[in-house]
Amino acid sequence: MTNHRPVRVGAVAAAAALTLAACTNSPPASSAAGDTARSTPSSATASGLEQQYVSVVAKVLPSIVQITNGHDLGSGIVFDTQGDIVTNAHVAAGATRFQVTLAGSPTPVPASLVGAYPPDDLAVIHLDTPPRSLSPATFGDSATLQVGDIVLAMGNPLGLSGSVSNGIVSATGRLVSEPTGGGSPGATLPDTIQTSAPINPGNSGGALVDLAGDVVGVPTLAAIDPQAGGGPNGSGAGGGSPAPGIGFAISSNLVKDIAGQLVAHGGHVVDSHRAELGVQAVTVIDQTGQPSGAGVVSVVAGGPAAAAGITAGEVITAVDNTPVHSSAELSKALAQLSPGQAVPVTVLDPQGASRTVTVTLGQLPGS
C-alpha cells in the first residue's frame, strides 16, 4: 500500500524544537581531573532493563491492530473483549467500514464505525465478528507520568506491523494543533504527552506504553521543522520535514473517558469537558497582511457569546487576557479553559472600537 497518511504532522512546537536541537551541539563541560571516570550500568542492570522491554512488548503487542479504511493505514488498540477498537478520528477519516488485522493473524476482520469525536481526535470501531482470543490493553493513569519516564511506541509505521520504538516522556500537558486534511477537520489538543519515541506515518492510533506494560497515550502527531526542506515525504502546512524526536500522544485518561463514552452511548460523546464560546469565527487579516483577530461570522443563539452581547461582524482579539490573532489561536485559548468559567473577552466592533465583556463559557457539544 502506498498511502500511509496518518500520523498527522504539524508545525506545533517547531520553533522550540529548533532551539533545543541547537543546544545539543554544545560540547560537554570539562570535568575535574578526579571526575573523568563515568559510571556505566552494570551488565546485570542492562540485562534487566532489556528483559523488561521484552516483557512489555510481549504483553502489549497482542492488543495492537492494523486498520485500513480503503485508502489509508493506521493503528488501533483493543479496548475491550466485545470487539471495540480505539484509534484516532483521523485514522477513521470519515469512513464507516474498515478492515482490521489482528496481531498474529493474516486475515483482516471487517469492522464498522461506532463513533468519532474529532475535537479530541478519537474514534472507536467495532469488529463484526470479534474472536474469543481478543486481548484488551491495560490503560494506565497518564496523570502519574513524569518527564524522563521510558516509553515505547507500538503500531504499524509505514505498514510494518507490530513495530516498536523507544524513547522518553519529554513533556506533559502540551497544547498542540493538528492540521486539516485526510478527512480530518483538524483539532486542538490541550493536554498531550510529548515523547522522543519516533512516531511515523501509520503509528497514529497505536499505543504509547510505560515499562509496566500499561498504555499511557495514543500517538497522534509528529512535529515538523518548517525551515527544513520538504522532500517527497514531507508534509505539514507551509512545507518542512518531520522534526526527529518530537511526537505527541493523547493521554490515556482522556482516551479512557472519550472512548468509554463512545462505547456506552452508541457512538456519542455526552460530556466533552471542553469550553466553547458559541461562535463561528475566521481569521481576520489587517492592512499589512498580518492576522489581527478572530472575526465572528455567526453567533449561536442563546449561547455564551450571545448572552454576553457579542455579535456577528465583531473581531475577538483576546480571551481571558490571552491575545487572539486568528481563529486557530481562539481555539487554543478556549482549549485551556473550562465550561462554566467566566472570562473576559475583548472584541472590536465594525468601527474599530474596543470593548471587553465577561463571558460564562459553555460546554463544547458532544457528538
How far is Cα 101 from Cα 262, in angstroms, rounded to an integer?
22
C-beta atoms surrounding 321 within 10 Å: 11
Catalytic residue among 72, 84, 121, 210: 121
Active site residue 204: yes
| Residue of 308, 261, 306 whose CA lies nearest to 115 | 261
Active site residue 121: yes
Catalytic residue among 204, 235, 252, 367: 204
What burial class does residue 345 get, using C-beta atoms within 10 Å of its C-beta: 0-12 exposed, 13-18 middle, 19+ buried?
A: buried
User: Chain-centre distance of CA 57, in angstroms?
Assistant: 23
Catalytic residue among 72, 90, 225, 272: 90
DSSP 314-336: -EEEEETTEE--SHHHHHHHHHT
How far is Cα 353 from Cα 270, in angstroms, rounded to an integer?
39
- b/e burial code for range 234-248 (CB count within 10 A of at least 16 → b): ebbeebbbbbebbbb
How far is Cα 162 from Cα 102, in angstroms, rounded to an integer?
10
Q: Which residues are catalytic?
A: 90, 121, 204
